[in-house]
Each structure stands twice: as structure tokens, then as C-alpha cells.
Amino acid sequence: MRFKRHIELEHGLKQIDIAPLIDMVFQLLIFFMLTSSFIIQTGIRVNLPKAITSEITKTQNIQISISAENILYLNDNVVSLQELKKFLKTIPKDTPILIKADRRAVLGRVVEVWDILRDIGFSHINIATTQL
């Protein structure tokens, strides 16, 4: 059996058409770009301070977040101090509260929220941190 050493393409075809290959690669690129954009996590951007003695809580808490711009959030909704007081007076006093304050937030704002909670009568107050 003899094989041809130089295989020639058909008479009219001098080069391979790569347009379908480019189309397929372009479609794959678009697919991966679109599916990767759906992985966005919603929520408030808070850089938590680090602590060696932090523990993981497993109970459902009411979250009060304080952003780096000192904006108060109650369960991901923007609230003022008066609205926060009004809401906290309507819930049971044994409900655990979690304060998530950005490390660049003003300490005075965190203390204000802490004082409001203690003044209303909450005793289960936690501050969120990240473990080292």
C-alpha cells in the first residue's frame, strides 16, 4: 500500500476556511462571560475586623450593619436611628442581635447602636468579626 507524501487539497480549495471555528470560539466566549456574571453576591459591602477569639454563631440573628460611610442597615434595608429604635421596640428582648460594622466605620456610630440596644433591654448582642 502506497501513501502519497504530499496530500493536496481539492482542486478549487487552496486553504482551510476557519470562519466557523472563529464563530464557535466567539459563541463559547459569550456563553462563559454571561454565565460568570450571574455569580454576583448581593448584600452590603462590609470589611469586618479580625479577631482571634471569634466564634461562629448558628442562631438566626437580626443584623444591623454599619458601612464604611456610617450608613445603618437593618437586615439589608437602609434605616435611620429613629427607625431602628422603633423597630427594636417591637421585637422580643431575647432575640439575638448581630452588629456588622466595617472596620473603617466610626466607633462612635457603633457605640450609638450598642447603647440603643442596651437601653431598650437587649442582652444578646454580638459583633461580627472574621477569624484570623
Structural domains of the chain, with CATH: 50-131 (3.30.420.270)
Contact 93, 57 (CB under 8 A): no
Nearest to residue 80, comparing CAs of 103, 109, 46?
109
Q: Which three cell numbers stand for residue 40?
A: 454576583
Q: Which of the listed ranges 11-20, 59-68, 123-132 does the model predict with the highest average pLDDT?
A: 59-68
Distances (CA, A) of 126 to 9, 15, 41, 61, 113: 75, 70, 24, 9, 12
Give the pLDDT score at 18: 85
pLDDT of residue 92: 87
pLDDT beyond 90 at 28: yes
Q: Are 94 and 62 in contact (CB under 8 A)?
A: no
What pLDDT, on the 0 to 100 scale, is given for residue 106? 87
The count of other CB atoms within 10 Å of the CB of residue 29 is 10
pLDDT in tens, 36-81: 765 555 555 666 666 666 566 556 678 899 988 888 998 888 999 8
Cβ atoms of residues 130 and 48 within 8 Å: yes
